[in-house]
Amino acid sequence: MPLRPALSCALLVTATVMGPSADHQPGAAKAPVLGWRMVPVLAVNGLQFKDLNKNARLDPYEDWREPTEKRVNDLVGQMTLEEKAGFMVSPTLPMGPEGALVEKTESLDGAFGRSMQLGTSDAVIAKHIRQFIVRVNTPPRTMATWLNRVQEVAERSRLGIPAFFVTNPRNHLGSAGIVGIDEAGAGFSQWPGTLGLAATRDAALVEEFAQIAAQEYVSVGLRGAYHPQADLATEPRWARISGTLGEDADLASDMLRAMVRGFQGATLGPTSVALIVKHFPGGGPAIEGQDSHFAYGKYDVYPGGNFDYHVRPFKAAIDAGAAVIMPYYSIPQGITKEQVGNAFNREIITDLLRGTLGFTGVVNSDSGVTTNMVWGVEDLTVEQRYRKAIEAGTDIFSNDSTPEYVVNLVRKGEVPESRIDESVRRMLRIRFALGIFENPYADPEHAVRTVNNAEFRKKALTAQRKSIVVLANGKNILPLKAGTKVYLEGVDPGAVAADGLIAVATPAEADVCLVRLTRAGRPGEAGGRGRGAGGGAGGLNTGGVPIDLTFSAEALARLRPLMEIKPTVTVVYMDRPYVIPEIARDSAALVAHFGVTDQALLDVVTGAFAPVGRMPFELPSSMEAVRAQKEDVPHDSPNPLFAFGHGLTYPARTPR
134-169 burial string, b = 16+ CB within 10 Å, else e? bbebbbbbbbbbbbbbbbbbbbebebbbbbbbbbbb
Q: One of 182, 202, 254, 366 is an active-site residue; which one?
A: 366
**Is-contact 344 376, C-beta < 8 A?**
yes
d(CA 508, CA 514): 13
Indicate whether 623 pLDDT > 80: yes
70-98 burial string, b = 16+ CB within 10 Å, else e? ebbbebbebbebebbbbbbbbbbbbbeee
* Model pLDDT, residue 557: 84
Number of residues in the chain: 656
For range 188-213, the mean pLDDT: 97
Backbone CA torsion sign across 264, 123, 71, 346: negative
Between 183 and 490, where is the model more confident?
A: 490
Query: Band of the pLDDT at 11, cuts 50, 70, 90?
Result: very low
- On average, the pLDDT of the chain sits at 91
> Is-same-fold flag (77-454; 468-628)?
no
pLDDT digits (tens, 9 = 90+) for 406-427: 999 999 999 999 999 999 999 9
Q: Which of 239-253, 422-436, 543-557 has the least mean pLDDT?
A: 543-557
For range 560-567, the mean pLDDT: 94
- What percentage of the chain has pLDDT greater than the value 90? 84
**3.10.450.30, 3.40.50.9100, 3.60.15.10, 3.20.20.300: CATH of 77-454:** 3.20.20.300
pLDDT digits (tens, 9 = 90+) for 158-167: 999 999 999 9
Between 152 and 184, where is the model more confident?
A: 152
* Model pLDDT, residue 538: 53
**Is-contact 530 514, C-beta < 8 A?**
no
* Model pLDDT, residue 558: 81
For range 492-498, the mean pLDDT: 91
* Model pLDDT, residue 151: 98
* Model pLDDT, residue 588: 97
pTM recorded for the entire structure: 0.93
Indicate whether 23 pLDDT > 90: no
- The yes-or-no answer on residue 603 being catalytic is no
What residues form DSSP beta bridges with 47? 44
Indicate whether 131 pLDDT > 70: yes
| Residue whose C-alpha is closest to residue 244's, from 616, 637, 620 | 616
Indicate whether 533 pLDDT > 50: no
Phi-psi map region of 439: left, alpha, beta (phi>0 left; psi -120 to 50 alpha): beta
Q: What is the DSSP string of 145-172?
A: HHHHHHHHHHHHSSS-PPPEEEE---SB
* Model pLDDT, residue 184: 58
Residue type, 169: P
Between 6 and 384, where is the model more confident?
A: 384
Q: Which of 152-161, 341-350, 558-567, 597-606 has the least mean pLDDT?
A: 558-567
pLDDT digits (tens, 9 = 90+) for 583-619: 999 999 999 999 999 999 999 999 999 999 999 999 9
* Model pLDDT, residue 4: 34
d(CA 290, CA 300): 9
| Residue whose C-alpha is closest to residue 457's, from 233, 154, 188, 197 | 188
Query: Band of the pLDDT at 185, cuts 50, 70, 90?
Result: low
* CB proximity list for 458: less than 8 A, separation 6 or greater: none
Maximum distance among all alpha carbons in the chain? 87
* Model pLDDT, residue 27: 40
Query: Band of the pLDDT at 545, cuts 50, 70, 90?
Result: very high
What is the distance in angstroms between the CA of the first residue and the CA of the last residue of the chain? Answer: 49
- What class does CATH assign to 468-628? alpha beta
For range 506-530, the mean pLDDT: 71
**Is-contact 406 383, C-beta < 8 A?**
no
* Model pLDDT, residue 98: 95
* Model pLDDT, residue 112: 55
Indicate whether 186 pLDDT > 70: no
Indicate whether 14 pLDDT > 50: no
pLDDT digits (tens, 9 = 90+) for 31-56: 999 999 999 999 999 999 999 999 99
Indicate whether 174 pLDDT > 90: no
Question: Where along the chain do its domains lie?
Answer: 12-66, 77-454, 468-628
Indicate whether 540 pLDDT > 60: yes
